[in-house]
Amino acid sequence: MAEWLSISDVKRKISKTSAEEVTAAYLETIAKSSINGYTCTYDGAIEMAKEADKGEGEGLLAGVPIAIKDNISTKGLSTTCSSKILEGYVPPYDAHVIERLKAEGAVILGKTNMDEFAMGTSTESSCYGVTLNPWDTERVPGGSSGGSAAVVAAGEAPISLGSDTGGSVRCPAAFCGVVGLKPTYGAVSRFGLISYANSLEQIGPMATCVEDIATVMDVIGGYDPRDSTSMDREMKYRDSLVDDVKALKIGVPEEYFGEGVDEGVEKAVMDAIGKYEEMGATWEKVSMPHTKYALAAYYTIAMSEASSNLARFDGTRYGPRYDGENWHVMASRTRAECFGKEVQRRVLLGTYALSAGYQDKYYLKALKVRTLVKQDFEKALSSVDVLMGPTMPMPAFKIGEKVEDPLSLYLSDVNTVPMNLSGVPCISVPCGLSDGLPVGLQIIGKQYDEATIMRAAYAFEQNTDHNKARPSEVI
Amino acid sequence: MITKDEVEHVGWLARIDIDDADAEDYAVKLSSVLDYFGQLDEVDTEGVEPTYHVADIMNVFREDVVTPSLDQEDVLANTASEKDGYIKAPRII
């Protein structure tokens, strides 16, 4: 049986044994697993652990194993975005976050399964097959960082990295009962993250507790001149872990509890808000009038950016190549054979939205609606400190349930995409169960104010038992 | 409703070969999403400036200094076709 361990638990184990033994135990657990959370493990993991043992505990993550989403470039280790079009691709460089992790002594366990090119809410569009939710293996783990969440929930890694374009860290964190953070846009460098929708996405950590999220952020956050959107300001994440929410003002957007929100989810979230009241916080209803349009604006912008970002995958420089008499034929065949259906749909829709005659109708209009959504956040967060609501409107759904109807899958992202449009930070923490499945409480803050949402999440965790709930059967 | 011909044209623009059967399926699925996008028409955006990105950053410059690039051998290791230190591709024009 795999164990749920925090970073401090892992460090205690290392001090009694060694980083090498701890890493070997994780690799053994992964080898026995049947949830399909990893796309590959790293051959050099044991070597990294031995190096950490030689360093005798130096570094914030010395000897601590971590799982990495398969769209984050890792030198010498396969990185495929779970797509056939990058089959066999081994990056010649490390992403900024990987450089930082290595500098602090972390041990890379392997790459985690994901929706192809991070496009999805269920990890069903991976070329490696679906990852199973450790709470109920007939259900999806959420997406697109489903593998990263599932391996933490199953005790196959203490911490992991995902990426969040429209909720892709928070959704699987909620479905798998772990903690997941989407930082402020620009707080973590995207250098080395294979782009899907670059104005929306952020790399974010997943873990079993808020303290570990703060530790990983202290390692990966900060300025990087190689990413022109990287923010040049100092942030100390662990300093925000204070068990005190007295005088915290919470706003509860009524639009986040609309039609389609599961009764059990609503109850768990409202109970959590009640708990904050007991702890000395106050709450009031707020209105975010443009929430209704955020989803359409998000998908228009994301697909438009995807059509441009994915243009580089044509079989020339990396991945498989299908022959053709000229470049156009070669590229068109390669892309038709190697992109999955969901990726093709999004690239086609994005190309259509950007094509002559439609740019103003779709793309420009969506960018203007984005301004209004951003203003909703600015207005609401001028009178309260944080916003709270359900991360996902429902608990994890069954595998195959939504796969044939893309629109119904897109609709489940209604509570997570507005934050990506406006760049604000948000965290999902476990807040109870609905029909035996985890429910996520989403806490949203002002831009660059991770400190307040992490303090709120930490205080909740210290005063409740929700993060102690575990999947009953971890294989 | 987006037509099958339009799907094929967009496929050409996007460099994705689409066969007849797929074009029918895409026409139906893409239409339902485009209809959904159409609800943006309800929003009054008169006088609203577009938000291209949310970072409070403009005009990022750096010194024009030469820095090392990736090793040629490492870069070529990922291509399906290489010749004399170059990536070999079919003709473009």
Per DSSP (E only), the strands in B8-83 are: 82-83
Residue numbers of A between 351 and 370 with CB closer than 8 Å to B = 351-353, 355, 362, 364-370
Tell me which residues of chain A, numbers 136 to 175, contact chain B at a CB-CB cutoff of 8 Å. none
Strand partners, A203: A163
What is the percent of chain A where pLDDT is above 70? 99
Q: Is the pLDDT of residue A422 over 70?
A: yes
The pLDDT of residue A474 is 59
pLDDT band at A315 (very low <50, low <70, confident <90, very high): very high
Q: Mean pLDDT, chain A, as a whole number? A: 96
- Residues of chain A with pLDDT > 90: what percent? 92
Task: Please indicate whether, in this complex, the C-beta atoms of A407 and B32 are within 8 angstroms of each other.
Answer: yes
Q: What is the ipTM of this complex?
A: 0.96
> Could you write out the DSSP letters of every residue in A364-421?
IHHHHHHHHHHHHHHHHHHH-SEEEEESSSSSPPBTTSSTT-HHHHHHTTTTTHHHHH
Catalytic residue, from A82, A126, A148, A168: name it: A168
Q: What is the pLDDT of residues B7-48, one digit of tens each?
A: 999 999 999 999 988 999 999 999 999 999 999 999 999 999
- The per-residue pLDDT for A1 is 46
Is A168 known to be catalytic? Answer: yes
Strands, E assignment, A70-158 = 107-112
What is the nearest CA distance from B22 to chain A, expressed in angstroms?
A: 10
**A209 CB-side CA count, 13 A:** 19
Are A61 and A101 spatial neighbours (Cβ–Cβ below 8 Å)?
Answer: yes
CB contact under 8 A, A92 and B70: yes
Do strands B86-87 and A282-286 pair parallel, antiparallel, or not at all (unpaired)? unpaired
Count of other CB atoms within 10 angstroms of residue A236: 12
Give yes or no: A83 in active site: no
Comparing CA positions, the residue from A243, A72, A267, A33 lying closest to residue A169 is A72
A160 belongs to the catalytic site: no
